[in-house]
Chains A and B, each alone.
Chain A
Amino acid sequence: MQPTHRSSRILLPAKTWFAYLSLLVALALSYIPTGLTPGVPDWVALVLAFWSIREPLRVGMGAGFLFGVLVDIGHGAAMGQHALAYVVLCYLATSVSRRVLWFPPTQQALQMFPLLLLTQVIMVVVRLVAGAEFPGWWYFLSSLTSAALWVPLNYLLLLPQYQPVDRDDNRPI
């Protein structure tokens, strides 16, 4: 079956400040001290992937690097660990954005899962090479919960673009 372009609904242009505001909110969420609870979603990776797919010209590897460093500092992780993973994530998300946007959000989530998993694998490999202990398989649960949050997040972050400037019942948006 030929996939149809579900995002054919005409959206308002995305605002760059909103993209960066949502990234800041994601950063704040990632700073919530949850300790070592497994399955806490990686908010920053999720929002970065979202904007890399939606607006590849405005949010990309540069933002991935910047927010990766900020996460590294907040978490007390090795400097560059999250930055490296997020830069690769943004690159891959940007390069698949043309294809992914043809699918409805649930199928987009399925395609995002390997990317988010790869992000975590990069971080594990970096730390294992540096001599840390393997954190256990529960660690990878996080990318599953992140991918599951793709659909609600998709709706939430597109909400401002659904709002018409002046309401007109005869207009399609």
Chain B
Amino acid sequence: MSLAGHPSPPIFKQGPTPLVRLLVLVSVCLAMLVADLKFRYLEVVRQALSVATWPLQMAAAAPADFVRNAAVYFGTLVEVQKDNAALRGRELEAAQRLLRFEQLEEENRRLRGLLDMGPAVAAKSIAAEILYDAPDPFDLKVILNRGSQHGVEAGMAVVNEQGMIGQVTRVYPVQAEVTLLTDKDQAVPVQVARNGLRGVLAGAGQGRLELRFTLSGADVRVGDRLVTSGLDGLFLAGLPVADVVSVDRDAQTFAVIVCEPVAGVERTTQVRLLGRAEPPPPRPAPEPEPEPRKGLKG
């Protein structure tokens, strides 16, 4: 570095050696990975930078849009007519139910008033279309054509006409990312429709779901319908989610309960996003025992 006390001349100076640069950048990357995967600290950075990459993404999506529209254009007339007939039939059927639904809702409101229960949670609903699978092959995610500009919020439930298919996990200005129910990291608070038993449903891979942490003595039978319980303060209660396919009680403390999603989770295009119109009331502060917390504060 120095010869006889003199610093080396700057002719061949090239900054730190490649190995040092590699180690610095690799440790920066590892720090980013931990911050993102473990603590979700980098969502702000992601949102800010996604604005910069937006024009490129739009340009890149154009050919895919073209192919999709071309496929629609060349769909035969016969198919469309058949679809139309089927839809008309279903509309008639739905109209009868809707008539009764309005009457029941009115009745429900009056009864809730009589019982002094407060109004049922108002729902907010947005129609959307699934554009494509997210390019990240490690997660089961899809991209929707509606984003924060259309009022989409992270946490909304995504349903199709049969039941729930997933949850909005990341919102961009005009797109949103949905994690499907069958993803390993996706959990939904559910209850058994038959008896109101609560549990947590999580993805188990291969298009299956698993009802976790349910004691082996619990009253769950094959064929039970699981619906959202609404306990997380995000989902509306009562959305159909899954059916129980098998119950294995002799495993351990907890029964191994395998379920299958009600809706075709990985093959659907038209969806609706359901959320609460107003945020849930804040959790009441745990007043009775403030003693053990004092040590932490000081």
Is A173 in contact with chain B by the CB < 8 A criterion? no
Name which of B53-61, B209-217, B272-280 contacts chain A: B53-61
Name which of A11-19, A106-114, A123-131, A164-172 contacts chain B: A123-131
**Given that A73-B50, A91-B18 are known contacts, is A139 also in contact with B137, CB under 8 Å in the complex?**
yes
Main SS class of interface, A: helix
Partner of B33, one of A29, A84, A87, A91: A84
Question: Measured between C-beta atoms, what is the minimum distance from B40 to chain A in Å?
Answer: 10
Max chain B Cβ within 10 angstroms of own Cβ: one of A36, A62, A135: A36
- CB contacts (< 8 Å) of A130 on chain B: these are 33, 37
Is A143 in contact with chain B by the CB < 8 A criterion? no
Using an 8 Å CB-CB cutoff, how does the interface string of B163-204 with A read, 1 for contact, 0 for none? 000000010000001000000110000000000000000000
Partner of B56, one of A28, A60, A75: A28
Question: Measured between C-beta atoms, what is the minimum distance from A137 to chain B in Å?
Answer: 12
Query: Chain A: which residue is nearest B177 at the CB level?
Result: A76
Is B129 in contact with chain A by the CB < 8 A criterion? no
> In the complex the two chains form, is A33's CB within 8 Å of B61's CB?
yes
**Given that A34-B135, A61-B21, A87-B26 are known contacts, is A78 also in contact with B33, CB under 8 Å in the complex?**
yes
Is A41 in contact with chain B by the CB < 8 A criterion? no
> In the complex the two chains form, is B28's CB within 8 Å of A65's CB?
yes
> In the complex the two chains form, is B138's CB within 8 Å of A132's CB?
yes
Query: Chain A: which residue is nearest B60 at the CB level?
Result: A31
Give the distance in Å from the alpha carbon of A61 to the alpha carbon of B45 in the complex.
21
Chain A contacts with B in 107-153, Cβ cutoff 8 A? 126-127, 130-133, 135, 139
> In the complex the two chains form, is A32's CB within 8 Å of B205's CB?
no
Max chain A Cβ within 10 angstroms of own Cβ: one of B28, B53, B136, B139: B136
- CB contacts (< 8 Å) of B25 on chain A: these are 61-62, 64-65, 83, 87
Is A104 in contact with chain B by the CB < 8 A criterion? no
- CB contacts (< 8 Å) of B29 on chain A: these are 65, 68, 80, 83-84, 87
Is A69 in contact with chain B by the CB < 8 A criterion? yes
Is A163 in contact with chain B by the CB < 8 A criterion? no
Give the distance in Å from the alpha carbon of A77 to the alpha carbon of B139 in the complex.
9
Is B111 in contact with chain A by the CB < 8 A criterion? no
> In the complex the two chains form, is A29's CB within 8 Å of B60's CB?
yes
Give the distance in Å from the alpha carbon of A62 to the alpha carbon of B25 in the complex.
8
Give the distance in Å from the alpha carbon of A17 to the alpha carbon of B60 in the complex.
21
Is A161 in contact with chain B by the CB < 8 A criterion? no
**Given that A33-B64, A33-B131, A84-B26 are known contacts, is A74 also in contact with B45, CB under 8 Å in the complex?**
no
> In the complex the two chains form, is B46's CB within 8 Å of A79's CB?
yes
Is A88 in contact with chain B by the CB < 8 A criterion? yes
**Given that A69-B49, A70-B49 are known contacts, is A31 also in contact with B134, CB under 8 Å in the complex?**
no
Chain B contacts with A in 102-148, Cβ cutoff 8 A? 131-139, 141, 143
Is B251 in contact with chain A by the CB < 8 A criterion? no
Give the distance in Å from the alpha carbon of A133 to the alpha carbon of B56 in the complex.
29
> In the complex the two chains form, is A33's CB within 8 Å of B135's CB?
yes
- CB contacts (< 8 Å) of B49 on chain A: these are 69-70, 73
Partner of A78, one of B36, B59, B134: B36
Using an 8 Å CB-CB cutoff, how does the interface string of A51-65 with B read, 1 for contact, 0 for none? 000000000111011
Is B5 in contact with chain A by the CB < 8 A criterion? no
6 contacts between A and B (CB under 8 A): A32-B60, A61-B22, A62-B21, A70-B53, A78-B33, A87-B29
Residues of B within 8 A of A (CB): 18, 21-22, 25-26, 28-33, 35-37, 42, 45-46, 49-50, 53, 56-57, 59-61, 63-64, 131-139, 141, 143, 170, 177, 184-185, 205
Residues of A within 8 A of B (CB): 24, 27-36, 60-62, 64-65, 68-70, 73-81, 83-84, 87-88, 91, 94-95, 126-127, 130-133, 135, 139
